[in-house]
Structure 1
């Protein structure tokens, strides 16, 4: 919470200060009303002067009006500050999430990041708003009530003061126990979001395999964990209200008994006793508000720590300059893309890619083929610098990609990922993706991707809006729109990661023809499972368990690489010579 208070709330300190002053004035007016009432009962009424009664009644009405008006103004100011500050926090958190590396995203997990952007920012919003409303008003009423009661009758006030240390100890003990419980609740909520997200995304598979009962059992287990954690946290914090009620009511009983004795003895007056009871009620409500504040603060502190954990996450892929990269552009390096003894491991124990070296010249196509888990997608991720290599280096135009500014590097690529996403938006926006592309550019890209015909028909019949994840498209239609997205900006390097698996052979052949005719100067990395997608590439890289076991043309690999030969035979039926 330190960063949220010292950085994000700093621009609002002045407005918060004005709001505190307004709230302070309104609260003081609330405290003045019982005092005036006591004065009227004990001093004005015995005078039997209607004029003075009307005068002091007017004073009470004025105090009430000022209290209501100032509290409303202060609450509106507090809500505005809370909403604006939370908006900035949420914006920065989202921006930071967008720039996290793949390793950092996996470490936080996507459900946890979603929870931080939603539930945690909401808790912080509640804290900022409530601290300006109840956080100012309640202490003023509490302290002011004690001061006014001391001024009215020090003897009766001392009874109240005896209760206060006990209340403070109870609040401190409950809060110390409650805060870890709210942290645990947030962690459990992350698991809950993760399960719901997976089940909703995979609902078709669940139904197809008739696993609804199995998933319901999993959901019940996680849901029970969330309910248990929430119940433990709420039950712990729920001790506050009854404990405070008991202690304050015991104090009130003592005040009434002592007050009755003092009135009977002539050392106190009825008006003071009535005012004292009103102040006692004000103090009780103030303490209740403070106890609710402790619950909100406990939640917000746990949520704020989770938000700051993301905001303070340091960049783990730093740009290197000059000789740090160990690269001298253009000397002894061939091709537009060069992998120079690249090794990478996700867990930093066993390599997922081991000592990979190859080069691809500008305008050439590199086909990458291999079994599932052989490292094909990892290779593409390293080339785009979604992750950094552990050993070796990757060069583009003779320059280490770690020395290229990220936005400049990303502009070089057009990419279709293996599990890519269609957004709930128009076909045009799904292809354009916020880039400076005209409708003509988008239309051409759809034509190159063999998507022009069905998208035109869709625009005529159903409109051009797509459902989230492209639910209203077939698998082949989704892939063609994704390919159009990659082609639209005419990238220097095109990466197609298993992007034609749902295309029929005829459409796949037309797509490759369009790439050859209209993207001659684009270097293409074609990752595929089908031999037919890569057999016409200038070079083909064969991967197995992260190892490079073959590199060459289709004809060369048929002769030299047994694994490639077996894949070719199984898919094309060619006899092994």
Structure 2
């Protein structure tokens, strides 16, 4: 509910205007039965055709006004819903963009996607329907009751006798329905996750002939969504038959009471016709209110999920200034970190001077990529301090911090856009800077061979490029703009030795002032580094130059022998 108040408050004047138009149109509907009763009981007995036509014309005018104003109000309601949800979706997307890595891990990508899509769609429907029916139904209900009071108070009391039962039914069913719709959205999250997994791993699934297995798995997840939606809808659907039961019982009592009162001459036939019309209006209004509660229950569940994201407090706050005189460009001071209760890095300690290159090598899962993530402050270390130019990264503005880096991750992505836009990445770089980066990343040759060159348009994820070509484009993006710190996470694994050697030479000659941290599986990619650390289970088991590690680290020597046969690699 807080979400609706927050985002509808700026649109209050438009909503109020729409409510006014809807209210007037609804009042026109309420006048029709009253005019009809007057024509039957007072005008027709006089035999004056002109008066009949006059009041008949009044009914036509009321009908036209009711329809016209209702259409106008519905358009205004749709416009308000569109504008409100547009802002909600924008703010939600922006908030998701600034969530820390740990917060994104906590919610999960599937949940964030479904909140941004299906939940905002539910909010759009709820806001629109609340304006269209949320005014009309209560006005018809209350106005209908007031009109019936003016016609015959006794019949009105008979009719009102069933309304408490209807109200209690709507309250309890709605109270039970909100948690069920929240559970439904959680099942939708799982469905989105399964679809993303199947799309991402489509090639592997086909290669391993697991298509049937994945179909069965998807069917299970899909069935859970169906079951959750069925349970929620069945619970909420109970309101309609119960409402019909109560209101039709009321209608039966009204008809019986009317028969006695007409027989005793207490009311006229026209009043009975008008009363029955108003009762139908009240019946439909109650059913509409039931529909509102059904949709509102779903909207509240979605609003709570969206509100939770929008009001997630940042967990990577900028701390007070912490600077020390330090000649090192980058310093990891006894840093430890774990994802939750799982320790990943323990007592990581090293320094890098400006322009130096650090190579990191180790087995899969040893924490190599995590070092980069901590340096980028995607996560905060559990213990220890990370400094850049003597400044604790926790006391640096995140935007200022991130502009220092050029990054090429192991599992990086390419947009469905031109090569130039993928390299520029919204930084407004000059053509000269882009060309320099492609030349250094050894991408210029294959880009020049394309008909459109840098204007060549990529498919989503760059599937129209080979693995080596994609890595060189990603390297170009990392190098563009002459970053202060370059982070390369196994970003040359798809390159042949010759191209890899040219890349290392270009980095040495053209980026002398850039401090580089390079993760690699091949020793040949890092053997020229100023410093190499070898990780095992999150701990440093070897540190030094290539020659020092060959002398002092048996695990390093063994990897070297396996990769090179003991021969020095160029």
For this structure pair, what is the TM-score category when the shorter chain's length is used for normalisation? over 0.9
**Could you tell me how far apart the structure 1 residues matched to 2:167 and 2:350 are?**
70
**Could you tell me how far apart the structure 1 residues matched to 2:25 and 2:79 are?**
19
Structure 1 residue 549 displacement after superposition:
1.1
Given that 1:423 and 1:467 are in contact with CA atoms closer than 8 Å, whether structure 2 keeps it comes out as yes
Structure 1 residue 5 displacement after superposition:
2.6
1:117-516 aligned at under 5 Å gives the runs 117-322=116-321, 325=322, 327-328=323-324, 330=325, 333-347=326-340, 349-460=341-452, 464-516=456-508
- Secondary structure (helix, strand or coil) at the match of 2:509 reads helix
Q: Which moved more, 1:308-317 or 1:267-276?
A: 267-276
What residue is the counterpart of 1:517 in the other structure? 509
Structure 1 residue 504 displacement after superposition:
1.0
What residue is the counterpart of 1:93 in the other structure? 92
Per-residue displacement from partner, 1:416-436 (whole Å, max 9, x unpaired)?
A: 111101111111111111111
Q: Which runs of 5+ in 2 are unaligned?
A: none
Given that 1:334 and 1:359 are in contact with CA atoms closer than 8 Å, whether structure 2 keeps it comes out as no
**Could you tell me how far apart the structure 2 residues matched to 1:447 and 1:41 are?**
91
Matched, 1:558 2:550: yes
**Could you tell me how far apart the structure 2 residues matched to 1:221 and 1:483 are?**
41
Distance 1:490-1:310 versus aligned 2 partners, 3 A rule: same
What residue is the counterpart of 1:527 in the other structure? 519
**Could you tell me how far apart the structure 2 residues matched to 1:135 and 1:410 are?**
48
- Secondary structure (helix, strand or coil) at the match of 1:450 reads coil
Per-residue displacement from partner, 1:453-492 (whole Å, max 9, x unpaired)?
A: 2223334499711111111111111111111111112110
What residue is the counterpart of 1:109 in the other structure? 108
Distance 1:42-1:456 versus aligned 2 partners, 3 A rule: farther
What residue is the counterpart of 1:539 in the other structure? 531
Structure 1 residue 187 displacement after superposition:
0.9
**Could you tell me how far apart the structure 2 residues matched to 1:248 and 1:504 are?**
79
Distance 1:126-1:208 versus aligned 2 partners, 3 A rule: same
Structure 1 residue 535 displacement after superposition:
0.5
Q: Which runs of 5+ in 1 are unaligned?
A: none
**Could you tell me how far apart the structure 2 residues matched to 1:552 and 1:334 are?**
19
**Could you tell me how far apart the structure 2 residues matched to 1:367 and 1:192 are?**
41
- Secondary structure (helix, strand or coil) at the match of 2:343 reads coil
Given that 2:420 and 2:455 are in contact with CA atoms closer than 8 Å, whether structure 1 keeps it comes out as no
What residue is the counterpart of 1:5 in the other structure? 4
**Could you tell me how far apart the structure 2 residues matched to 1:125 and 1:373 are?**
44
Aligned residues: 568
**Could you tell me how far apart the structure 2 residues matched to 1:254 and 1:383 are?**
77
Given that 2:418 and 2:454 are in contact with CA atoms closer than 8 Å, whether structure 1 keeps it comes out as no
Distance 1:100-1:390 versus aligned 2 partners, 3 A rule: same
- Secondary structure (helix, strand or coil) at the match of 2:360 reads strand
Structure 1 residue 260 displacement after superposition:
2.6
- Secondary structure (helix, strand or coil) at the match of 2:518 reads strand
Structure 1 residue 530 displacement after superposition:
0.6
Given that 1:431 and 1:442 are in contact with CA atoms closer than 8 Å, whether structure 2 keeps it comes out as yes
- Secondary structure (helix, strand or coil) at the match of 2:346 reads strand
**Could you tell me how far apart the structure 1 residues matched to 2:454 and 2:55 are?**
73
**Could you tell me how far apart the structure 1 residues matched to 2:395 and 2:455 are?**
45
What residue is the counterpart of 1:37 in the other structure? 36
Given that 2:419 and 2:454 are in contact with CA atoms closer than 8 Å, whether structure 1 keeps it comes out as no
Given that 2:358 and 2:533 are in contact with CA atoms closer than 8 Å, whether structure 1 keeps it comes out as yes
Structure 1 residue 6 displacement after superposition:
2.8
**Could you tell me how far apart the structure 2 residues matched to 1:443 and 1:350 are?**
43
Structure 1 residue 92 displacement after superposition:
0.8
What residue is the counterpart of 1:67 in the other structure? 66
Structure 1 residue 262 displacement after superposition:
2.2
- Secondary structure (helix, strand or coil) at the match of 1:351 reads strand
Distance 1:291-1:399 versus aligned 2 partners, 3 A rule: same
Structure 1 residue 243 displacement after superposition:
1.3
Structure 1 residue 539 displacement after superposition:
0.8
Structure 1 residue 282 displacement after superposition:
1.0
**Could you tell me how far apart the structure 2 residues matched to 1:113 and 1:462 are?**
33
Aligned-residue CA RMSD (Å): 1.5
Structure 1 residue 575 displacement after superposition:
7.4
Q: TM-score, normalised by structure 1?
A: 0.96
**Could you tell me how far apart the structure 2 residues matched to 1:434 and 1:553 are?**
38
Structure 1 residue 126 displacement after superposition:
1.1
Per-residue displacement from partner, 1:263-319 (whole Å, max 9, x unpaired)?
A: 232221121111112111111111111111111111111111111111111110111
